[in-house]
Structure 1
Amino acid sequence: MELRAQPRIVIVGAGQAGGTLAALLRQYGHAGPITLIGDEPIPPYQRPPLSKAWLKGETAAERLALKPLKFYVDKFIDFRPNVRAVKLERSARKVQLSGGTEVGYDFLALATGARAIALPIPGANLEGVMFLRTAADAVTMKAEVGPGKRLAVIGAGYIGLEVAASGRALGAEVVVLEREARPLPRVVCEVLSTFVRKYHEKHGVKFELGVKARSFEGDGRRITGVRLADGRLIRCDAAVVGIGAHPNDELAAEAGLQTARGIVVDLEARTSDPYVFAIGDVAHRPMPIYGRMFRMESVPNALEQAKQAAAAIVGRPPPAGEVPWQWSDQYDLKLQIAGYPFDVDETVVRGDPARDKFAVFHLMGNKLQSVEAINAPAEFVVGRQLIGSRKAVDKRRLADPTVSMKEFSV
């Protein structure tokens, strides 16, 4: 491949969003220089399997890579591992890097992702207190979880529950600590939350709900338990903190780009600077279906925004808008969610949770806003279509499992 005099593209962040953007630019015909800057020692990789298949030993580490290292060489993508961007100079269109070097750009894409939120309590630096955001985190965790080990999971969100399920599969005793009154309190409805809790309990996971961690207790070097605000001590050999993530938007904010707990972008993934894009977990983006802005942490969102930015950079027509969706695998459960339950005034349950196969539809009037599906792929697929089309639905028939979902297909 011969590099031609086309715009210089610099991508800061070599995760799923950044890696996908680099590959798409070449696929879309961009023949100019591409520099991909990553602060980890390995090429872009998939993160979802870290808490599931990889942690349980069901997939090899090399299978996590989005592309083999040879791809970046063959496509003349200047991949720079173990490098951080430390300052963005927009007027000069250059990025200062760790080690004192710098790289110039014509277009810049910020794919800096998000970082795990730490618990600011005593003992947080003890050995055995872990997070799960990177491949290195997963390697550490895999060495800590196994038969006879006691694992405390702080936070009953997606990551926490996936880790809990994998921990049980590996033979560890698992207790989940959550400050709210139910698991997944900020992301799913109470019907689904109750089902998930009971399913985990059937697999031996214990829950402590409505509790707050006061400190990590240890022997001076390593964690031995989690002290709760009510004074109880939850003994453990290791703990995973999964209480959410904070967007890595500091580089953008310091450079004067518009931020709002994330980097504000438009439907081309373009920031307040027309030469700078932001994609993936760090982007605070429009959601036309709901008439609002929102920051999403999901693989589908990272891929969609990579397409948006790539199309804008090379001058292709913008891709069609997508209905946001995400998934979570826990034990033999496939949880699939499309849309968000904004402005909902009615909820419809289709199927029977006791049979481990059902869906919850969230409606605003007769328009579907969101669907949460457990082992119900047809309800998920058609529900996602209905959210995107804004087609009115008959709620009574939607709730009737004897009515085929094909009737509602758009």
Structure 2
Amino acid sequence: MTKNIVIIGGSHAGSQAAASLRTDGFDGKITLISSERELPYHRPPLSKAFIKADEGELQELRPAAFYEKNAIELLLGRTVTAIDRVAGLVRLDDGDLPFDGLVLATGARVRVPPVHGIDLDNVFMLRTADDARRLKARFHEAQDVVVVGGGFIGLELASTARLLGKTVTVLEAAPRLMGRAVAPAISAHFLELHRGWGSTIRLETPVAGLVGENGAVVAVETLSGERIPADTVIVGVGVVPNIELAEAAELEVANGIVVDATMATADPRIVAAGDAVSFHHWALGRPVRLESVQNAVDQAKTAAATLLGKPEPYKAVPWFWSDQGDAKLQMVGLLNDADRSVLRGKPEDGSFSVFHYKGDKLVAIDSVNRATDHMLGRRWIGAGASPAPESVADESVDLKKLVVA
């Protein structure tokens, strides 16, 4: 019988796993270990509201009283050094914890590009509250900000910096912004938005290194040899899953901690959830690793149920969002296998969606300031339903009244 469950990781997946274990009726001991000293908090606001706000308080996922009321022991600011599967122990930097159920919610860390000067002063990467605090403090003095990377985090921080009156240059190595995640029409729209807000956007501009004087960054050097002045550099070129503990414990890893459809590893006592997890996606038919709050939360619910002997296949519809300036980008589904796209609305109006199909099947929707399209898409894709492409393209058709095949 499972009496003692340990959760490694204190972000969305870890906090949700603890909550779901209690909701699902587990009355044994729960211990949540986090390397950060804060209570588990919302990460998305770090690149936007947190930096812009005067006070800059973290948005806790759940108050301290929740953990106390539900007898969830928090070990904050602690480091897990190893998982001993034979002894059933989680080894900490200052002692051991026994487990007969273990949740790996180890998340991901920022990818550090191998370029010279990356360790200069006033070079920032954003993942944690401490990262955001340092960047927030720097923004009081920063003038010339260069953002390396035109993905979600880079563009969110670029728009935040512009709102704070900074000169902003974004350097993206690829031919378009957010190229791995959204349709070309979305990339083009946000390119124009950021340029309209006053940022300089440079596509197909790889970075060779960072130039420093007296230990602080003063410029970013491109691969072509151009030097772009900068007193502050933000690097946002993706994340790396934290798989080291699982790998050292001889659990299978492959671009993430490998789990089955119920979030279980090969060890029946150990489940995993969140950004560090590689799972066989029910729609794509191949392994994927997703980085989103929704995925972390829903996988944690599945993982908790599995530990308690109530396994169900994970089949949540993935959805994501990004707030940049006054534009809200919402995505549902995965467009990887799409073979055609249909535009609904006009980008020039600032409100439109791109519906992605594989054959006649709707597989994903990218929406800008169109919450209704997004919500309908979550319902349709979850049910395996698809509106006809010609109906989607016709703005006179009320999508809410469609009878969807």
For normalisation by structure 1, the TM-score amounts to 0.95
1:324 equivalent in alignment to 2:345: no
242 and 395 in structure 1: CA distance in 2 versus 1, 3 angstrom threshold = same
2:261/2:313 contact within 8 Å kept:
no
- 2:86 maps to which residue? 91
Residue from 58, 62, 73 that aligns with 1:67: 62
> What SS does the aligned partner of 1:303 have?
helix
Structure 1 position 379, deviation (Å): 1.2
Structure 1 position 215, deviation (Å): 1.3
- 1:161 maps to which residue? 155
- 1:344 maps to which residue? 338
- 2:383 maps to which residue? 389
1:39 aligned partner, one-letter code = S
For normalisation by structure 2, the TM-score amounts to 0.96
2:3 aligned partner, one-letter code = P
225 and 290 in structure 1: CA distance in 2 versus 1, 3 angstrom threshold = same
Structure 1 position 93, deviation (Å): 1.2
In the aligned structure 2, how far is the partner of 1:176 from the partner of 1:144? 18
> What SS does the aligned partner of 2:262 have?
coil
Structure 1 position 187, deviation (Å): 0.7
In the aligned structure 2, how far is the partner of 1:320 from the partner of 1:240? 35
In the aligned structure 1, how far is the partner of 2:285 from the partner of 2:251? 22
1:337/1:371 contact within 8 Å kept:
yes
1:266 equivalent in alignment to 2:260: yes
Structure 1 position 95, deviation (Å): 1.1
Superposed, 1:246-395 pairs within 5 Å as: 246-316=240-310, 318=312, 321-395=315-389
Q: Once the two structures are aligned, what percentage of the paired residues are identical? A: 39
2:171/2:202 contact within 8 Å kept:
yes
- Any idea what the Cα deviations from partners look like across 1:191-240, whole Å, max 9, x if unmatched? 11000010011101111111111111111311111111111111111111
- Any idea what the Cα deviations from partners look like across 1:371-404, whole Å, max 9, x if unmatched? 0000111111112222222224321111111101
In the aligned structure 2, how far is the partner of 1:319 from the partner of 1:293? 14
1:22 aligned partner, one-letter code = A
Structure 1 position 55, deviation (Å): 1.2
Root mean square deviation of aligned Cα: 1.6
- 1:47 maps to which residue? 43
Residue from 92, 95, 102 that aligns with 1:108: 102
1:137 equivalent in alignment to 2:131: yes
In the aligned structure 1, how far is the partner of 2:97 from the partner of 2:142? 50
Q: Which runs of 5+ in 1 are unaligned?
A: none
- 2:188 maps to which residue? 194
> What SS does the aligned partner of 1:30 have?
coil
1:21/1:307 contact within 8 Å kept:
yes
121 and 317 in structure 1: CA distance in 2 versus 1, 3 angstrom threshold = closer
Residue from 19, 22, 25 that aligns with 1:26: 22
In the aligned structure 2, how far is the partner of 1:409 from the partner of 1:163? 41
> What SS does the aligned partner of 2:178 have?
coil
**Bigger shift: residues 66-75 or 239-248:** 66-75
> What SS does the aligned partner of 1:49 have?
helix
- Between the two proteins, the alignment pairs up a number of residues equal to 404
Residue from 169, 174, 181 that aligns with 1:175: 169
1:11 aligned partner, one-letter code = I
Structure 1 position 171, deviation (Å): 1.2
In the aligned structure 2, how far is the partner of 1:251 from the partner of 1:289? 29
Structure 1 position 149, deviation (Å): 1.1
1:7/1:106 contact within 8 Å kept:
yes
